[in-house]
Amino acid sequence: MLTILFDGVAYGMLLFVLAIGLCVTLGLMNFINLAHGAFAMAGGYLTIVMMNRYGISFYWGLPAAFVFSALLGVVLERTLYVHLYTKSHLDQVLFSIGLVFMATAVVDYFMGANQQTINLPPSLEGRVNFLGASIGVYRIFTIILCGLLTVGLQFVLSKTRFGSRLRAAVDDGRVARGMGIDVTRIFAVTFAVGSGLAGLGGALSTGIISMDPTFPLKYMIYFLIVISVGGSTTITGPFFASLLLGVADVAGKYYVPAVGGFIIYTIMVVVLILRPQGLFTRASR
């Protein structure tokens, strides 16, 4: 019972780190980037290649994944995404699905279609007993790391100058621009950080869920659920949504495997029916 709860929380934390970048892009730039999972995949595969081909430590893989995905994000944002901001949502959806298809095929070409996993460093393997439940060390590691990231993000967003500029740009981009805030630059930086976090999440998830080229499509749905349930204006909303989703998914698959897949979709549809307006449109404060 406690084990499931713990696994669910770890999974949810992971989903949060994976999805938070998409949240910000969506909330900030009103841009539907379905290719967000591709950045996560990039980070995940980078870690796999570093560890399995070059024998570099997992602990180096994580920051490398962050930097790599962030760079990738900046390059794509500056060259491609920037043309899409003013286009319709449908165009954005099609464009990013196109990117996902390309990313999937490219990874397939270079890495093969089969699932890839890593061998965790010995210090992260094994299980410990906690209040009578056996919990994987890696789950604890994930929870602590993601927890720190969440606190850090919350701090940056609410306490720093960059955070207040970002929030200003979220609330009203035009006025923010008028006040002399370089919204374009903030967009680029935020996009990079969001992609980097996705990469980091991808690297972390290699230890829990294996990587294969269909990762962006498979998890795209999860990201969107996190955002649709949690809303995209705060980071606490998606955070709790991720935890809920993670626990519900793990518990559902454990207790009622036959209907496991339904649970998350049903949660999503019900939430969207009950609160269709409050989820994507910004609540007037």
Interface residue list for another protein (CB under 8 A): 26, 32, 80, 83-84, 87-91, 93-95, 97-106, 108-109, 113, 221, 224-225, 228, 258-259, 261-262, 265-266, 268-269, 272-273, 276-277, 279-281
- The two three-digit tokens of residue 258, written as one number: 């036959």
Closest listed residue to residue 36, CA positions, set 252, 258, 162, 192: 192
Nearer to another protein (CB atom), residue 4 or residue 106 = 106
Pairing mode, if any, of strands 127-130 and 133-136?
antiparallel
Report, in Å, the least distance between residue 82 CB and another protein: 11
Nearer to another protein, 209 or 224 (CB): 224
Q: Do 145 and 204 touch, CB atoms closer than 8 A? A: yes
Q: What amino acid is encoded at 256 in this protein?
A: V
Asked if 20 and 233 touch (Cβ cutoff 8 Å), the reply is no
Residue 226, CB-side half-sphere exposure with 13 Å CA sphere: 31
Residue number, 109 or 155, with CB nearest to another protein: 109
Cβ 74 to another protein shortest distance, Å = 18
Of the two residues 34 and 118, which places its CB atom closer to another protein in the complex? 34
What's the sign of the alpha-carbon dihedral 265, 101, 45, 145? Answer: negative
End-to-end CA distance of the chain: 39
Q: Provide, rounded to whole angstroms, the least separation between the CB of residue 244 and another protein.
A: 16
CB of 142 to another protein, least distance (A): 27
Smallest separation, CB 277 to another protein (Å): 7
Two structure tokens written together for 100: 């996902």
Closest to another protein by CB, 141 vs 254, is 254
